[in-house]
Structure 1
Amino acid sequence: MKVCVIGAGIIGASAALDLVRDGHAVTLLDRDGVAAGASQGNAGAFAFADVIPLATPGIMKKAPKWLLDPLGPLSVPPAYALTIAPWLIRYWRASWRDRYVAALKAQSDMMRLSQEALDALVADFNLSDLIRPEGQMQLYEGETAFQASQKGWDERRKAGVKFEFLTGPEAIAEIQPGIDPRFTHAGFTPEWKNVTDPAVWTRRIAEEAQRLGATFARRDVTRIEPAEQGAVVHSEEGAERFDKVVLAAGAYGNPLLKTLGLKLPLETERGYNTTLPAGAFDLKTHLTFSDHGFVVTKIGEGVRVGGAVELGGMTLAPRMARAEALLTKAKRFLPTLDTEGGTQWMGFRPSMPDSLPVIGAHPDTSSVVFAFGHGHLGLTQSAGTARVVSDLIAGRTPSLDLTPFRPTRFAGYRA
């Protein structure tokens, strides 16, 4: 079967590899190149322990305080406030107990599938040299903050996540020295893994797909047109018909959705980070400062400090003061961190209001399959998503229940 995958980030590259292994003639297209967007600038984590949706019960009580801080963990630029309002209403609805419980189960099921698929991928393509199995430490300032996190740890326990609690700066320092003693408690997930560099990982996946016969082209797709059999992909190079098309363009998918007659609440979590050179800090494990909305992680031989969520769309100018604010906090929390010589970055993480990606066929045609909207979990869920996409393209029933991920789950999905 002739298949076109639109988007060469980690989702699209992974789908292309799985599809070419399944015997299809695959063409991978991207407007900017492989790993040109969020897939190069993320934290590089396989965050299988992050089963909890962003929209949790009671989240909207905290949101106003966050939103008033332009450099806080959640921010909406005033110029984008009216535009994002409908999305925030959906986000608030997703935090209600009934929706939250359903999303938690769906996320847990997706994590199990993705972890299994990743293990198989690493073994099949000998990718272990790109994996860092160094665990992750989630840090808390004081007993009150630690106790407030217990409900989340209970949900992780139910999902089968292995972890241990650390009490006191001395216990924390046994795993990661150099953390300010204000952090008195931590949860450590020893089975957590990172890639050595997310850009290198994504390019390797794309290279393996091409080695097996997939074709990559740098092309700006302007329209997808379902045909009587298959679908036609339009770009500045002309039009080409395929038997199946996979839309995995992440945050850049909205214009193409409109050409397909759909209007989905696909937004962007604008993520900021600074990557420091080798020697900046002797990092032993992935560090998560949950209450401050950022992480510190090893990338190559350097250290990346980044995170937070800015709901600001794709056209407003970056506010790099957010990256600087994260770096300032990191210096307070890791006193020996050398913050000189860093490279700043901002990228667009494609995000749905219920924290679940869109995976499934177009409601009117099986010729177009969607795989986007993974938020900050694109790398984590890439192998599982690729397996599901291959099943859908081949007409097989996926092992994952796709009901929570279907594109028609949002009211008003028709453009």
Structure 2
Amino acid sequence: MGYKMSIFSRNFTGVIDDNMLIYHQKGIETEQAPHYTIKNFDFNPETRISHIEFLETKKYRRIERYVTRYGVRHPIYSNWISKTKSIKKTIKLTNEKLENLKSEPYPICDFCYEIVSRLDSDEFYPSWYIYERIKDEEKAEIDKAHKKFEGKVYEENEILKKYITEINDFNARSALDLLEKDELGNELEGINQSLQKAENKRHIVLFSFLTIGIYLLFHSNLYISKLNEKKLAILGSLNEVEALLEKNKMRIVALSEKVNQSKETIKRIELEKETCIDEIKKRYEAKIQAIEGLPITFEEKHVFIPLKTLVGLKYEKIKGCYVIRNTENGKCYAGQSKDVINRICRQHFNGTKVKNIIFAEDYYNSTLENKDDLFEVRIIPLSTKDELDRVEMELIEEYDSFQNGYNQTKGNS
């Protein structure tokens, strides 16, 4: 019998445990959204190619077993299990791509700020990134101003509290002194009444029998004398109390003036804070208004632009002439092409790295710390073959690129 009860007890306990498990796992979350971090980042400024390796971490629960109750199978889940995998992305960070990085597919769009911050050069910073950095700087400066002025207000408020506490103390003392004054006044009034009665009795004593009258008169004068002594003492105490009340009053007036001065100081500090913050906002608004986006396409300006800038532009087919100039020694190369950007960025150079042998010696012997800054280019869009030939010859002559440059001919004649 005892054995059967023991089995029943264990089974009953197991049923309760399973029921509690089913209850607590009802509606339990079984999967979390993936979490991403950048594991590796590599950027080649010469080609603008970036390789990004993301680490994706997912958390999920696995079904460990099922519990059947009333014909229904209930899954019992494990604790959280983490699973990670690597996601590799390759992206060419042209100026256009950088300006629109927030619109890239997930997860790149979520890491756009971190990606740009890893480029380590402001020449690659798109307008939205500059804007966010300016706003961060503005917030930091405003927070610093708030802290500075709030510190001053706090110090002045502490002084103000001290003055108010002192006023309250003097008011409390004055209240006690007034009570003492009232008590002394009441006592004085009682003595005056006693003196009046004593004086009245003296007149009666004078008409009394001689012997008894002299005795009574003596004692009456002694009593009046004591009353007068007591009166003088009370008057002295009253004078002291009134002097204290007047002194406290003067102190309260002086402290009240200091309270008003402190309140005015706090108002002035608050006004200075508002003015300071307004000036900060105006200054940063001017910076924001001055933001220019990265150039997306080539704009003819009849000036040289860095080769690294050209590499970052959106590709477009331009027919015309061009000049490549070495910024270190001034040597030039003038040429023509039906596709100028392709000719410069893919035939003469691979990004900003030399591909054409005519530039190789100067490139590898350059003393510039950053060789991406070694060459700059000028592009002149043209239409006809005659224009191409004529302008090419003019440029070779203008920049002396045949005698003292990279050109090996004087151009097409």
TM-score band, normalised by the shorter chain?
A: under 0.3
Q: Which has the higher contact order (CA 8 A, sep 6+)?
A: 1
With structure 2 as the length reference, what TM-score do the two structures score?
0.18
- Greater strand proportion: 1
- Greater helix proportion: 2
Quick check: which has more Rg, 1 or 2?
A: 2
